[in-house]
A = this chain, B = another copy of it.
């Protein structure tokens, strides 16, 4: 079958992330027409995004064009467009390029970072969800050292050499560890007027511990590993204010900083609201046992955008294994519906969680198995390479890592910016 057989039922998938892509692949043998909608042209391996932000990897190392991934799957097409809302009554998705009609819909638009209603903070403290986010954070970080090297003003130099990461989850911990490593090791010989090892890196966590998703002593071990990298961790501190001059914490502490990264809090894609069904506090769509929504057995919501209840008011976490398993599951459910059969309940198989801390430490938890330190880092490396989409990427990433590991180098310390016009001097970030 291929995309041009108009008589086939049409499955529209919104989002080419882990969930949406798995769903599309799992439907490759189904006699349907699949339309994958995404506002980016690539699938992004988000777990390694902090490596792009910290200049260890290039965008192409962790991203693969969606068309390329699906090029041999004749029943699938990719449309680069942003879904604006969903009209469940008329079974169509409204996009910037007009309506797209569906017989079955899989909503997998993911989540963005949430500023808890303080969206004005975003320009001072960008989050880390897209390649553009990562390149912007990389640019700010590298420019901060350039400003520090140039300035005659002690206060400006100190602010330029102070980095703040907000949020003590895996992303925040990974980012803080990487920044500390860059400042204290990678750049050590690059400057003449500053000592990059004097740079300060702060991690702000509102809770009593970092890496709260981990159990046992892993949060404590993670904290030890992170502080041993020189990261100054502030626990039980909320961010009161963020401005171009820095961050103000509960209790009044002010950290003057030019480079702030936001890794706290997620909000599901606003697209879910247009479904007209209950959402949770993070804006996630509360789905039924088969991942469909109430009253619309033909509409499924998966991944970071879905609230799949696990009892005690809890929901499955926003992890790629959850999204991928749900993607495959709803594909099966759609196939069942096509056969006139009923759908099945989704069961999550917990593969565990891990977070890396700097260049040779990590924490990992798989069932009752808890690892930390170098062994956990190796496990982390192995699993992430295995799951990285695309042969080329796997090798390019392995090569870049091996190189960075041996040399402490960061191969991608290149500052670029679009529309440089005459290629003029890269200014410090407009803030």
Contact = CB atoms under 8 A, between A and B. Distances in A.
Q: Which 5 A-B pairs have the closest CB atoms?
A: A82-B425, A39-B425, A58-B58, A132-B420, A60-B412
Contacts of A422: 112
Interface stretch (A72-80, A201-209, A279-287, A345-353): A72-80
Contact of A193 (B77, B191, B393): B77
A63 B65 CA distance: 23
Interface in A387-426: 392-393, 395-396, 399-400, 403, 407, 409, 411-420, 422-426
A374 to B, nearest CB: 24
A71 B425 contact: no
Nearest to A428: B80
Contacts of A155: none
A73 B49 CA distance: 33
Contacts of A426: 39-41, 80
A131 interface: yes
Interface in A94-115: 96-97, 112
Interface of A: 2-4, 39-42, 58-61, 63, 65, 67-68, 71-72, 77, 79-82, 96-97, 112, 129-133, 135-136, 139, 142, 146, 149-150, 187, 189-193, 392-393, 395-396, 399-400, 403, 407, 409, 411-420, 422-426
Contacts of A60: 58, 411-414
A82 B425 CA distance: 5
Contacts of A393: 411
Contacts of A72: 189
Give this chain's copy count.
Answer: 2
Contacts of A419: 132, 136
Contacts of A414: 41-42, 59-60, 63, 65, 131
Contact of A399 (B67, B135, B395, B424): B395
A80 B403 CA distance: 26
Nearest to A112: B422
A109 B426 CA distance: 16
A191 B42 contact: no
Given A3-B192, A189-B71, A392 B416 contact: no
A214 B43 CA distance: 43
Contact of A418 (B77, B418, B423): B418
A36 to B, nearest CB: 11
A191 B80 contact: no
Given A39-B423, A80-B149, 5 more contacts: A40-B425, A59-B416, A72-B189, A131-B416, A132-B418
B40 A423 contact: yes
Contacts of A191: 67
Nearest to A72: B189
